Amino acid sequence: MTSDLEWFKSSHSSNDGPDCVEIAIPPTTSTIHVRDSKAPDAARLTFTGVSWTAFVHTVTTAARRA
């Protein structure tokens, strides 16, 4: 259940900016949950380990090119 997750703010998020992302990784599954820390009850994304790795790779590669 996602209400029992322990959320961690991304090291790239600021405390006062609009781009605050939190993640949670449950100890019993291999999924990664992502939410907007400014709207914690809004929609969330859930990734498998493989899709999370691909997502992070794509985002970091795009950021380096920008």
Report DSSP letters for 1-46, one per residue.
-GGG---EE-TT--SSSS--EEEE--TTSSEEEEEETTSTTS--EE
Q: How many domains does the chain have?
A: 1
Hey, what amino acid is at 30? S
pLDDT at 47 (0 to 100): 96
Domain that holds residue 11: 2-65
31: Cα within 13 Å, side-chain hemisphere: 12
Tell me the pLDDT of the chain (66 aa) as tens digits: 456 899 988 776 666 666 688 999 998 888 999 998 888 899 999 999 999 999 999 988 988 887
Q: Are 44 and 34 in contact (CB under 8 A)?
A: yes
